[in-house]
Amino acid sequence: MKKNKKQIIFGIQGGKGSFNEQALREYVRRRKIDNFKIKYLYTTKNVLKALNRGEIDFGIFAIVNSKGGIVEESINVIGDYKFKIVDKITIPIAHFLMKRKDVDLSQIQQIMAHPQVFAQCQNNLKNKYPNLSLISGRGELIDTAKVAYQLYKGKIDKKTAILGPKILSEIYDFEIIDENLQDDKNNQTTFLLVKK
């Protein structure tokens, strides 16, 4: 991809602060692309729909994780759309458990995250937080970054903790409860960069 005057629009599977955004930022840094815009689309289906409609130039979505395996959300929809793989981006993944600062840790009843996050952290969660319910949202709420935003806005039960990228604690002023909860310390996810 060459640097040009036209702004490149990337649609990503995640929200602001997501691992998808981190993968994109790594890609544009490596490729020295500075004239771009991010559309936060939250799901692989939304990314591929937007690509198909010509609303974005490129899409990014997670395809496989070194511990959690294939990203089911992506596999379930990629057969429904035509696209070309431009590149693969692999980044290290570390999961942080966080909560709102106005809620005491003893009040936390559940953890919300993408199903793939739970697959990557299942042993540590079972050992350290066996009494907390693990919940994945539906639709756009499958994305942990979207859940973080909704928790911040008070649209999700505030007795909910989220599990995801550390940067979400900075964006939404959450308190970090625990860190590096991934079972494999060399946890990595590969994302596909695709075009129509």
- Report the Cα 8 to chain-centroid distance in Å: 21
What stretch(es) of the chain map to CATH 3.40.190.10? Answer: 8-93+186-195, 96-178
pLDDT digits (tens, 9 = 90+) for 161-179: 999 999 999 999 999 999 9
pLDDT digits (tens, 9 = 90+) for 10-31: 999 999 999 999 999 999 999 9
Strands 58-65 and 69-70: antiparallel
In this prediction, residue 22 carries a pLDDT of 97
> Which distant-in-sequence residues (6+ apart) come within 8 Å of 100 by Cβ?
151, 152, 158, 174, 175
- Is the pLDDT at 36 greater than 90, yes or no? yes
In this prediction, residue 111 carries a pLDDT of 98
- Is the pLDDT at 4 greater than 60, yes or no? no
pLDDT digits (tens, 9 = 90+) for 46-69: 999 999 999 999 999 999 999 999
CATH of domain 96-178: 3.40.190.10
Spatial distance between the Cα atoms of 50 and 45, rounded to a whole number of angstroms: 9
Which CATH architecture is the domain 8-93+186-195 placed in? Answer: 3-Layer(aba) Sandwich (3.40)
In this prediction, residue 5 carries a pLDDT of 72
